[in-house]
Chain A
Amino acid sequence: MFEAVSFYLFAFLVIVSFWIAVTTSQALYALTALAAGMILISGFYFTLGADFLGAVQIVVYSGAVLALYAFGMMFFDTTRDVKEKNPNKLIVGTLAVLSAILAIVILGAPIVSDNIVALYPDVESVGNIQEVGIVLFTKYLVPFEVAAVMLLVAMIAGIVLAGKKMDISLTKLSDEEIEKYKREELV
């Protein structure tokens, strides 16, 4: 009963906020609606017993990703309306529906074939966070490390792309050019 109430409440709120995020012409409304939707999605994770995933959703999405987007929006004029050119609504709608049907087929295919076996079944008597830790650091250790390296690469890329004067490579410059840059910074 309560599960049904929470499911329909969260589903309604998430759909409404994501719809606002997609259709509004104000960039700030889109950002806030997206943040609301991200936090509301974690409600599903808590309902589904994936506590750690819900916490990560709040911390990473609502905290880091949306703070980054808010930072990115400081570069742009957010007061003016976002202009959207929409040549043919029919094509867009048809493509969206077709892709959604494709997605449901993809998600439904393993359910139709009834021979799913749980690879890493739930362990009794430990909570969700312990389970996640056990599976993540045994079976998924290599993908975990690869993801860590990927995040490091992304961090360096972000710093180099957004930082000031980081596009100048000191190793490729001659001594005179380095001296010139030094003098420019002092002035």
Chain B
Amino acid sequence: MEIGLNHYLVLATILFAIGLYGVMRRKNLLMLFFATEILLNSVNIGFAAISHYYGDLTGQMFAFFVIAIAASEVAVGLGLLIVWYKRHNSIDLDEMTMMRG
């Protein structure tokens, strides 16, 4: 059985759905970051698969930039999270209601 582009796209969509489920389910900020990493990785799989099946390197380039952005997101996000934890001693999303969102 031949593995085609659609296999990879369906897999990327399943992983994206898992990540979305995590983003909506989690109340702990650190666990929320984990779910965002899953989202970014699923998109990267889609990019790499399209890049392979169309013989075009643009998809891989975008995957590299996504990885770079994910790395800087983690650095800044964890810094903010540590500051918040030092001030409030909790990383529960329900308690971050200063803006009344």
Contact = CB atoms under 8 A, between A and B. Distances in A.
B52 interface: yes
Size category of the A interface is 35 or more
Interface string A79-94: 0001111100000110
Interface residues of B, number: 71
Contacts of B63: 50, 53
- The main secondary structure of chain A at its interface with chain B is helix
A50 B60 contact: yes
Contacts of B46: 107
A186 to B, nearest CB: 24
B81 to A, nearest CB: 7
- The main secondary structure of chain B at its interface with chain A is helix
B96 interface: no
A99 B17 contact: yes
A116 interface: yes
A160 B79 contact: yes
A73 B30 contact: yes
A50 B51 contact: yes
A83 to B, nearest CB: 7
B72 A135 contact: no
Given A22-B19, A38-B41, A157 B75 contact: yes
A183 to B, nearest CB: 24
A173 interface: no
A3 B41 CA distance: 21
A111 B5 contact: yes
Contacts of A118: 54-56
Given A22-B19, A65-B37, A116 B54 contact: yes
5 contacts: A4-B2, A22-B35, A30-B34, A69-B78, A150-B69
Closest 7 CB pairs of A and B: A161-B79, A154-B72, A22-B22, A118-B56, A158-B75, A100-B17, A48-B52
